[in-house]
Amino acid sequence: MRKLLAAVLLALGAGGAAADPAADRIAQRLARTLADTPVLRAEFEQKKDMAAFSKPLVTRGNFVFARGTGVLWNIEAPLKLAYVISDERIVEIAADGKVQVKSGQDVRGLAQVGRLFRALLGAQSAELAENFDAAGSESGPAWRMELRPKSAQLAHYLKRIELSGAQYVEALRLEESAGDVSSIRFTRLRAATELDAGERERFALR
């Protein structure tokens, strides 16, 4: 994931309209569902298999997708670390409650990171189409989508991304060209109409 996003930042490939019809249909379906879902909550488990590390790095936590606002990414284990990702800034909240705000001004490309992260979680095709060729397949309510980088520069880092799910994105698998693989699985996906007070507070952090 890290490498992907960093690489996307440096990728200069020009976008164009995407995709095969199935991928378009899936994206539109997801977009319709999300349009009716102001807030989506889920648990996640992220597993990174890295060549340099002998055991996979496993992270667990929960996430909140707030349409039009951003994403809360709460890591519960093996350490407590939370991120609030919106268009303009990324806020990091450490276990001891220390808050670090990074705006686009501080770290170049941060806004882009936030947008792409949200695009992947929401399977937003327009955002993804600029950097990837998409191919999709459907069987009943379930679907899969495969993204391959358009530019050689991005392909240098990233082999492919696989997204799958039914009503929402349920799994995300990312293969780096160097061999490292990250996969994120979302469980207990549930829609809600509004953020709770604690979440609102976190989104309000500046």
Partner 1 sequence: MESLRRQGAPARAAAWLWLAAVAAALLFVLRQSSGGLPLETNVLALLPQTEHNRTAERAVHALADSLGNRAIFLVEHADAARARALARQFAANLESSAVFARVSAAAPRIDPELLTGFYAPHRFSLLSAADRAAMADGSYDAAARLARRMYAPFSAGVPTAPAGDPFGLLQSFLSALPLLQSSLSVEDGMLVAHAGTRTQVLVLAELQGSAYDPPVQERVSAAVAQAEAALQAAGAVLLRTGGVFYGQAARAGAEREMDWIGAGSLAGITALMWLLFRSLRPLLLSLATVAAGVVCAAAAVLAVHERMHLITLVFGASLIGEAVDYAIQYFAAHLDAGPGWEPRRGLARIFRGLLLALATSLIGYAALAAAPFPGISQIALFAFAGLAAAWLSVVLWLPLWVTQPTRRDAGRALAWPRRVLSRWQQARPRTALWVLAAGLLVCLPGWLQLFPDDDIRLLVARPAALVEQEYRIRAAAGMNAGGRFFLIEGADAESVLRQEEQLAARLRARAGAPGFIATSDFLPSAARQAENRALIARALPVEQGVALLEQAGLRAGALAQWRQDAGAAPAPLTLADWRASPLSVPFRHLLLDTPGGLASIVPLLGDAGDSGLAALAQDLAGVTLVDKAASVSALLGQYRGWIGLWLALATAIVYGVLCLRYRPRAAGAVLLPTLAGLGCALALYGYSGLPLTLFALMALLLVLGVGVNYAIFLVEAGAAAPAPFAGVLVSAATVLLSFGLLALSSLPALRQFGCMLTAGVACAVLAAPLAPLFGARA
Residues that bind partner 1 (CB under 8 A): 1-3, 5-7, 9-15, 46, 48, 50-55, 57, 59, 73, 75, 78-79, 81, 83, 90, 92, 94, 102, 104-105, 107-113, 115, 117, 126, 130, 157
Q: Which residues contact 8 (CB under 8 A, 6 or more apart)?
A: 112, 116, 131, 154
Kindly tell me which of 118 and 143 has the beta carbon lying closer to partner 1: 118
Are 82 and 93 contacting, i.e. CB atoms less than 8 angstroms apart?
yes
Kindly tell me which of 117 and 168 has the beta carbon lying closer to partner 1: 117
Are 181 and 173 contacting, i.e. CB atoms less than 8 angstroms apart?
yes
Least separation in angstroms between residue 140's CB and partner 1 is 30
Q: Residue 85 in 3-state DSSP?
A: strand
Are 1 and 182 contacting, i.e. CB atoms less than 8 angstroms apart?
yes
Burial label, 90 (beta-carbon count in 10 A; 0-12, 13-18, 19+) = buried
Kindly tell me which of 143 and 186 has the beta carbon lying closer to partner 1: 186
Least separation in angstroms between residue 193's CB and partner 1 is 26
Measured CA to CA, the distance from residue 112 to residue 180 in angstroms comes to 23
Token representation of residue 145: 């989508």
Q: Which residues contact 197 (CB under 8 A, 6 or more apart)?
A: none
Least separation in angstroms between residue 59's CB and partner 1 is 5
Least separation in angstroms between residue 52's CB and partner 1 is 4
Kindly tell me which of 124 and 137 has the beta carbon lying closer to partner 1: 124
Least separation in angstroms between residue 74's CB and partner 1 is 11
177: alpha, beta or left, given left = phi > 0 and alpha = psi -120 to 50?
A: alpha
Least separation in angstroms between residue 38's CB and partner 1 is 22
What is the Cα gyration radius of the chain?
17
Kindly tell me which of 13 and 38 has the beta carbon lying closer to partner 1: 13
Kindly tell me which of 108 and 206 has the beta carbon lying closer to partner 1: 108
